[in-house]
Structure 1
Amino acid sequence: MTPGPGHITWPPPELAVPPVQLPPTEPVTGSDDVRRYDGLSYATNSGYRARLLDLSVPPAAEPPGVVVWIHGGAWMEGDRRHPPPTVSADLLFGSLLRAGLAVATIDYRHAREAPFPAQLHDVKAAIRYLRHYAGQLAIDGTRIGVWGESAGGHLAALAGLTGAAHPSLEGAEGIAEGDTTVAAVVDWYGITDVGALLPDRPGPDDPFVTLLGGEPADRTSLAAAASPLNHGGAPAPPFLLMHGTHDTLVPIEHSERLAELLRAAGNHAELVAVPGAEHIFLNADVGPLVARSVAFLEHHLRP
């Protein structure tokens, strides 16, 4: 039956086949000679906001390695452009650029938009996008590291620990196929055992329940899949974990247990316990922590 006048169907026939992911736009080069790509759309789905990334590429004799920054916010909020309030964008992103590394800051679907593993699927889609267009972006797609804080640290750890052996966690967002392995992981106070933080009687806004979705009976298995501790026994890239000793939101035991598991499996894992620091490194001098994180990434992302 032919739709009558005024009847709208979606998608219209000319859009029925999803287009190839949009290629990068032209960069803007600043007075510092850094090429900046703002708002690159790395994945789209009908009914969702486009997932965007910003990429800054420093001047270099050869394509630089890339660090993907993953923001925190309990998987419920946050923005690719803004680090936690304890560290400035210039200190965080500027330090990476001054070390000769490109920086990609990414947005991902929040838990109310889609439950896990949508957030990890988006991280992996961003990695595929950067690799696919590495030549056009003049970056080295073979040298990609991830760095995240809190919920972003959780996703960074998962990105480092899951790969082709976990097809359900790869996703097919954006550029549907490609290598999503990373060469190094920096995890600032990330959750490694989701089940340990699930409340017995969750409220309607509990971030862990919102992240997992599903029925209560399914949450144990969903929490297991979402926990880096359940993926840390296999070969993994080098890890640097940093965690405050007085973190009351995500106890330091989360990082301690993951570091121990990684080392037991023969992987390189450094753990930095930050004395007296709360979550987001409140009560700590963040400058040296940024410097050590950047040095770790620079070392492991060298040509």
Structure 2
Amino acid sequence: MTAPRPSVRELIAAPHPDHAPLPPGAPNGSGVRAVRGVPYANVEGSRPLELDLWLPGSRRAEPAPLVLFVHGGAWRRGRRDDMGLRTRDWDPGPFARIAAAGFAVACADYRLSGEATFPAPLDDLRAALRWLTLRSAELGIDTGRTVVWGESAGGHLASLLALTRTDPAPVGAVIWYAPSDLTSARGRFAPEDPATPEALLLGAAPAAVPERARAAGPLAQVHPAAPPFLLVHGTEDTMVACSHSESLAAALEKAGTPVELWTVPGADHGWYGLPDAQVQKIFTRSLTFSRQHVDGPRPGTRP
């Protein structure tokens, strides 16, 4: 019995991301190979979701650990390959630097609040991690040693990815100046306001959808089996109050989760106002934290 012929619709469709060939990579300094615009998910009625990869260029005895980076932009805008204001003129760039240190880096798209509301962006990041795991042998990566790293709104989503059910579970989280609580007034944020970025993420003012707002808040998702966190936040942040990181750190510590809180004096959002040397120090400490936790015992295991 012969198999039925595929329809024209099936023939003209682009290959599914699960088995589509990878785009060609290009050297990007320090032996790093960059692979840009890799589709990882087809969402019905939406644009294809893509990610960029920075892969260590040298041959390795074992698969590389992964940094899954999540960009900021108030859940409304932003680019997947942007680590923020103060790293845009680095040469080599921040992701090439992370890859040169022995990590693979994946920077993933997610649906913005003008396209879909929560939990869509979190679902997208789970889909990215699933795709990376599926293609891990081809990419030479070990997603069982994943650190999620995000800034601002991306830090909020990275926190949720680390705190909620994900397979494989991240082994660490690096969070820069991110919201952790969408239910209570902090700084300029008012939960009754339907025009805030938080309200656009949720599809309504947080006060009008308290259960959804709580589900979207990392602070409410803390549990004892969470991976280690590094929380870095400027004391003078005018966009996301430093209390977000302070509250999350306190909750993680109470749950028995390893957490490091670094409040940076004089720093506004995006490390605005800091000297270059201090920004470099924050980046280096974040990379060191990541290395410590991909090389150490995994959450839920004994040393």
TM tier, smaller: 0.7 to 0.9
Tell me how large the CA RMSD over aligned residues is: 2.3
Q: Compute the displacement of 1:160 (Å).
A: 0.5
Say if 2:191 and 2:207, in contact at 8 Å, map to a contact too: no
For 2:3, the equivalent position in structure 1 comes to: none
Per-residue deviation, 1:53: 0.4
What is the CA distance between 1:233 and its match in structure 2?
Answer: 2.9
Q: Is 1:228 matched up with 2:230?
A: no
For the structure 1 residues 19 and 106, does the alpha-carbon distance in structure 2 shift closer, same or farther, using more than 3 Å as the test? closer
1:65–1:218: structure 2 CA closer, same or farther, 3 Å change rule?
A: same
> What's the counterpart of residue 54 of structure 2?
56
Shift of 1:29: 4.3
Structure 1 length as normaliser, TM-score? 0.84
AA paired with 1:193?
D
The amino acid across from 2:25 in the alignment is V
Alignment of 1:299 with 2:299, yes or no, is no
Give, in whole Å, the separation in 1 of the partners of 2:73 and 2:112: 9
Which residue in the other structure is 1:243 paired with?
233
Corresponding residue number in structure 1 for 2:33 = 35
Q: How far did residue 23 of structure 1 move?
A: 3.6
- Residues 138 and 292 from structure 1, CA distance in 2 versus in 1: closer, same or farther, beyond 3 angstroms? same
1:200 to 168, 192, 198: 192
Alignment-mate amino acid for residue 226 of structure 1:
A
Q: 1:34-90 deviations in whole A, cap 9, x for unaligned?
A: 232211111112321111001111124232101011000000000112221112353
Q: Which amino acid aligns with 1:139?
A: I
Partner amino acid, structure 2, of 1:35: R
1:131-142 residue pairs with structure 2 within 5 A?
Answer: 131-142=133-144
SS at match of 2:124: helix
Contact 1:157 1:185 in 2 (8 A): yes
Change (3 A) 1:229 1:35: same
Structure 1 residues 117-158: Cα deviation after superposition (integer angstroms, max 9, x where no partner): 001011111111111110011111221111000000000100
Q: Which runs of 4+ in 1 moved over 4 A?
A: 11-16, 214-218
Asked whether the 8 Å contact 1:70–1:152 carries over to 2, the reply is yes
- TM-score, normalising length from structure 2? 0.84
Aligned residues: 276
Corresponding residue of 1:82:
82
Q: What residue number does 2:299 align with?
A: none
| Aligned twin of 2:45 | 47
Report the Cα distance in structure 1 between the residues aligned to 2:260 and 2:150, rounded to whole angstroms.
Answer: 15
**1:293 partner SS:** helix
Cα deviation digits, residues 245-283 of structure 1 (max 9, x gap): 011211111001111111111110000010010011111
- Local SS of the residue matching 2:143: coil
Match of 1:160 in 2: 162
**CA, structure 1 residues 15+235, in 2 after alignment: closer, same or farther (shift >3 Å)?**
farther
Q: Which has the higher contact order (CA 8 A, sep 6+)?
A: 1
Q: Distance in 2 between matches of 1:29 and 1:38?
A: 9
CA deviations 1:144-186 (Å, max 9, x no partner) are 111000000000100000006xxxxxxxxxxxxxx24111100
Alpha-carbon distance, 1:217 to partner: 6.9
Q: Is the 8 A contact 2:54 2:105 kept in 1?
A: yes
Hey, what does 1:93 align to over in structure 2? 95
